[in-house]
Amino acid sequence: MASMIIDINQLSDDPEDLDLTLDPAWFARELDGVHHAEGEGQGEAKLQVSKLGGKVQVTGHLSAHFPVSCGRCLEMAEVTVDEPFVMFFEQAADRRVVQDLELTAEDLHWRTFEGVEIDLSPILREQLLLAVPMTPLCRPDCEGLTGHLERPDPDDDDSVERVEVDGKLIDPRWNALAKLKTTR
Ligand SMILES: [Zn+2]
């Protein structure tokens, strides 16, 4: 895998191609907690890196597919990303003073970096996370957990007889405790 770290001192004035492969190990590491543990991820970023004065522009295309958990049944759901990638970087010390707090569309494409290195890994991670829907689905008509297993309603459970204590119906397994309380 080509390095995801851009060393700005190594950049010439000509745009450079940077082809990155996102392999299953990368997905497992970067999307820990989001990534479906049983599934792999694959992707690539075909990028062009240009130095513009002290700033660095990274443009290109990001495509990937990776598994997450279905929001209804927790089975595997696939997320597909296929979109342009545009990001500008400037050194933290050069960051413009933001006059108002409202973020413009342009701000979303600006990042700062410290020192002489830009690590693309967290940026790519962020782009992939943005592509994950609020409720990912394993299939459009997923019926959720009820479609996979019958969950008994505890109120319909006849094996446990309710007893009345202090005017309240309670589970008899609490009865001994309730008696202790009421006879004190
Ligand atoms: Zn599902």
176: phi > 0 → left, psi -120 to 50 → alpha, else beta; which? alpha
User: What's the whole-model pTM score?
Assistant: 0.71
Q: Give the pair of three-digit tokens for residue 124.
A: 């790519």
The torsion angles phi and psi of 94, rounded to 5 degrees, stand at: -90, -5
What pLDDT does 109 receive?
Answer: 87
Spans of the chain below 70 pLDDT:
1-2, 94-106, 147-184
Give the Å distance between the CA of 67 and the centre of ligand 1: 12
Q: How far is the CA of 146 from the centre of ligand 1 (A)?
A: 10
Cα–ligand 1 centroid distance for 87 (angstroms)? 34
Residue showing tokens 């522009």 = 57
What ranges do the domains of the chain cover? 5-130, 153-183
What integer pLDDT is reported at residue 165 of this predicted model? 65
Q: How many Å lie between the centroid of ligand 1 and the Cα of residue 125?
A: 24
Note the Cα 101 to chain centre separation in Å.
25
Termini Cα distance of the chain: 72
**What pLDDT score does 94 carry?**
60
40 is written with which tokens?
A: 């792999």
Rounded distance from Cα 181 to ligand 1 centre (Å): 46
How many whole angstroms from 73 Cα to the centroid of ligand 1? Answer: 4
CA distance 78 to 145: 18
